Structure 1
């Protein structure tokens, strides 16, 4: 059943966006949003009618052309030219879930009443979206200052009957499909192209998507690490609350509590001879907790951005001011996304180390988790894949936000590169999911050689459900299909598991 989501004047948080990742809900404007949009537009129209003042991008050129005055008779042409000329994206297409978030986040920003966009234009963007048309947007082309100009231009093209859209899984020319469906394009008024293109919604859509998935993944990562820990007969002592009470990071305490619960349950059945365990197990709270704290910090920052107006210029009707500023600059998002890359990457790095240990032939486990090593390679090569992904993530953690290249003939002389930070962070998350799928596959297999161990009920449920979809096979067999299934299983846990 399709759910409706309403845009109003409330304070938003990333969790409000989950419906847009999972599906295509219908968007509605509240009365308060309609009032804010209408009042701001009426103010600008009246201001332009009675004054001859120059306002950036309203009656001037853009970027380095900001000193070029544009005649009133050319206002509509100016805005349409802006959208057309700035749609210069290249590379892979942006996933549908991110496009949906971009549209919604742009509408939220426009509805706050500081952008002077018309209600007609907002309603047209909603109509296109609600009819199931998603603009084709490309991943590369944003500098993350003057906002996400190229991606947002692609998002806006269908409004004027340009560009391409996806509809029911297929790509169409916007003008052709809109004509067939009876959706009429519009003419953009003064400032409207600028209001649509200026903003951080490309970066923010990726950031929100990554944050929501990472936050839901966090307890599952801990559960997978617990499965590996039980299989490797790890002591629960490092997870005792006393250890973490004297170093009270929030994430560390949360992870330790979860791991202690899981391992204490099965500890009575485990015979240990080791004095200490490897860091990849013993330091799970410190490493997982640090990543969790990064995720939570970034979620707080993304919440601020969701409730911000990142247009330029900004209209303040009560103060009778139109001010040119720099809220479009993506530096806060760029730096946070670079930081988030590190947190996600470290989750993957320590996961691969646990996978490696489970294959080492120690602690009563067969080498490479096969009893016929030599003739059979067992799980030797999935670890290679995990190692490759971990290495790729380390390279992707090179920060984007420390780079800047001058653009627009020197007018836009410092940019955030937040668009690049967003796209690479999304890739880090994809790699992490595959690394975790391999650890899950490996840990469940390892446990099949230690059936005497007693698992915590939550862990036992995961193992039982997993084996019902991916049965244990002792003989060598094609493994890539199982890795793909394990990744799908992880996604199902994110949606359904009571660990959340």
Structure 2
């Protein structure tokens, strides 16, 4: 039985709203993509195209259809050249640099663009939607450089690579390799699509790159909040912390809902009320005692972040907007990615604080001055070889380095607007840079979380070995986590290189390998 097929999630593009979770299913390659062929939907899509065709052929002036682009909007294009204009647009924007987006990120970008175009306000043919859906269905995904967008007028340069691939040009990911689009299209018998007036602009003049990344960032941050709570519970056991710091009566007087959710999770993990563990300290250091307050900021941000991201995802965000029903061309600035820029600048700040929290917990755990009787650097070595072994000493240094880099990335990108393109784009969002920064902060924080989980688990194991903690006294949730980590990691007794273990844990975190609390994995 092919379980991979059974696990695929249907995602239907029919002009209705999609969710962050559905874009993430597309990104992870576990979506079964369908484009609606409902007659009413197809007719609505095509009404905009028919209106546009009549208008420009009657010598109506339409930005980007009968004029040049950007500051060149005052340049009129002769009627016999109008149909060549889309190819020029994606061609001269073929100047992206830097690393390319991963295939997962590029799938999310294509999914976000198709979601917007399927709203029916962009003046594109149903055949163009079919071509984009076909790319997702056959997993022929544009290779997109990361650098070159200021986030208004949309993600022009990154999305030019989507437009070019639709037309059979540039390069694609196919079966894990980068190949020439024309070669793959020929192999799969995909017909390149010659873009019609407005279609190049409709693909490129929007926020799909930053929005696709934002959907992925949201999902990763959501999981990190839960993982940070579970790690904190394990840290409290390893450090013999005061479990009553997470009591519901305490948090009732400061009713931030996300913060209180984190406190409840940690409180329940620690079995308070059944077999409470008392600490020699009346108050633990802040990185334990204030963990719900730190993680809670990110947790409380998730609802409004979801609103910002999903509103942008389900918007028509190019220019001009084509109202085929009422036959209006509406010139505006919906390509401006300010909401995503603000969301990503905010999220990277909240996530970097998770890295900082876990890094401080790690520092306590490794230091004999603060770890309440555990061996230095959590070495599991005993006897005469103990002085020779250094345990997690270098991992603690590494976690500090990853945290410092994450914190450095929190400078808001959105405040660095640059005037570009002959001062036509004189106020821009920087949303794609903010989203890329956020992805980097997430990667670094996941690395810190991997180290923290390994070290917290080691600390608990050392307490169990010393008889200071009984496995039966752990809550079922913590017992399950201890056993799950043991499936992927062996107790560190003699020094060994831990790079492979760390990389594996980062991968497991990104795959949401450990089921944590009863909350649904929304993203």
Corresponding residue for residue 321 of structure 2: 314
Equivalent position SS for 2:136:
helix
Q: How far does residue 497 in structure 1 lie from its aligned partner after superposition?
A: 4.8
Corresponding residue for residue 426 of structure 2: 413
Which moves more between the two structures, 324-333 or 31-40?
31-40
Distance in 2 of aligned mates of 1:207 and 1:243: 34
Distance in 1 of aligned mates of 2:330 and 2:194: 25
Corresponding residue for residue 440 of structure 1: 453
1:58 aligned to 2:65?
Answer: yes
Corresponding residue for residue 400 of structure 1: 413
Equivalent position SS for 1:410:
coil
Q: Answer yes or no: is the 8 Å Cα contact 1:116–1:195 preserved in 2.
A: yes
Distance in 2 of aligned mates of 1:61 and 1:193: 12
Which moves more between the two structures, 424-433 or 7-16?
7-16
Q: How far does residue 124 in structure 1 lie from its aligned partner after superposition?
A: 1.8
Corresponding residue for residue 480 of structure 2: 461
Distance in 2 of aligned mates of 1:251 and 1:406: 39
Deviation per residue, 1:66-88 (Å, 9 max, x gap): 10001121122111110111121
Q: How far does residue 307 in structure 1 lie from its aligned partner after superposition?
A: 1.6
Q: How far does residue 297 in structure 1 lie from its aligned partner after superposition?
A: 2.2
1:364 aligned to 2:373?
Answer: yes
1:11 aligned to 2:17?
Answer: yes
Q: How far does residue 93 in structure 1 lie from its aligned partner after superposition?
A: 1.0
Matching of residues 419-430 of structure 1 within 5 Å:
419-430=432-443
Q: Answer yes or no: is the 8 Å Cα contact 2:341–2:435 preserved in 1.
A: yes
Distance in 2 of aligned mates of 1:379 and 1:345: 22
Q: Answer yes or no: is the 8 Å Cα contact 2:9–2:31 preserved in 1.
A: yes
Which moves more between the two structures, 172-181 or 130-139?
172-181
Distance in 2 of aligned mates of 1:297 and 1:467: 37
Q: Answer yes or no: is the 8 Å Cα contact 2:27–2:106 preserved in 1.
A: no
Q: Answer yes or no: is the 8 Å Cα contact 2:242–2:282 preserved in 1.
A: no
1:89 aligned to 2:108?
Answer: no
Distance in 2 of aligned mates of 1:210 and 1:439: 21
Distance in 1 of aligned mates of 2:99 and 2:61: 39
Corresponding residue for residue 431 of structure 1: 444
Q: How far does residue 328 in structure 1 lie from its aligned partner after superposition?
A: 0.3
Q: How far does residue 432 in structure 1 lie from its aligned partner after superposition?
A: 0.7
Q: Answer yes or no: is the 8 Å Cα contact 2:112–2:212 preserved in 1.
A: yes
Q: Answer yes or no: is the 8 Å Cα contact 1:33–1:112 preserved in 2.
A: no
Which residue of 162, 174, 182 maps to 1:175? 182
Corresponding residue for residue 217 of structure 1: 224
Distance in 2 of aligned mates of 1:457 and 1:442: 20
Q: How far does residue 496 in structure 1 lie from its aligned partner after superposition?
A: 4.6
Number of residue pairs matched by the alignment: 499
The 1:37–1:318 alpha-carbon spacing in structure 2 relative to 1, beyond 3 Å, is closer
1:374 aligned to 2:387?
Answer: yes
Matching of residues 80-229 of structure 1 within 5 Å:
80-229=87-236
Q: Answer yes or no: is the 8 Å Cα contact 1:235–1:263 preserved in 2.
A: no
Equivalent position SS for 2:33:
strand
Distance in 2 of aligned mates of 1:132 and 1:147: 25
Residue ranges of structure 2 left out of the alignment (5+ in a row): none
Equivalent position SS for 1:448:
helix
Which residue of 14, 20, 29 maps to 2:26? 20
Equivalent position SS for 2:192:
coil
Q: How far does residue 262 in structure 1 lie from its aligned partner after superposition?
A: 1.4
1:43 aligned to 2:51?
Answer: yes
Distance in 2 of aligned mates of 1:71 and 1:118: 23
Q: How far does residue 267 in structure 1 lie from its aligned partner after superposition?
A: 7.2
Distance in 2 of aligned mates of 1:394 and 1:491: 20
Q: Answer yes or no: is the 8 Å Cα contact 1:128–1:183 preserved in 2.
A: no
Which residue of 387, 390, 396 maps to 1:383? 396
Residue ranges of structure 1 left out of the alignment (5+ in a row): none
Distance in 1 of aligned mates of 2:171 and 2:512: 35
Q: Answer yes or no: is the 8 Å Cα contact 1:216–1:494 preserved in 2.
A: no
Deviation per residue, 1:23-78 (Å, 9 max, x gap): 153422222542321122122222333x3221110100001111000112112211
Equivalent position SS for 1:295:
helix
Equivalent position SS for 2:12:
strand
Q: How far does residue 13 in structure 1 lie from its aligned partner after superposition?
A: 2.2
RMSD, matched Cα: 1.7
Q: Answer yes or no: is the 8 Å Cα contact 2:116–2:317 preserved in 1.
A: yes
Equivalent position SS for 1:43:
helix
Corresponding residue for residue 500 of structure 2: 481
Corresponding residue for residue 353 of structure 1: 360
Q: Answer yes or no: is the 8 Å Cα contact 1:34–1:111 preserved in 2.
A: no
TM-score by length of 1: 0.96
Q: How far does residue 438 in structure 1 lie from its aligned partner after superposition?
A: 0.3
Q: How far does residue 265 in structure 1 lie from its aligned partner after superposition?
A: 4.2
Distance in 1 of aligned mates of 2:265 and 2:11: 34
Which moves more between the two structures, 2-11 or 218-227?
2-11
Which moves more between the two structures, 105-114 or 432-441?
105-114
The 1:381–1:95 alpha-carbon spacing in structure 2 relative to 1, beyond 3 Å, is same
Corresponding residue for residue 331 of structure 1: 338
Q: How far does residue 490 in structure 1 lie from its aligned partner after superposition?
A: 2.5
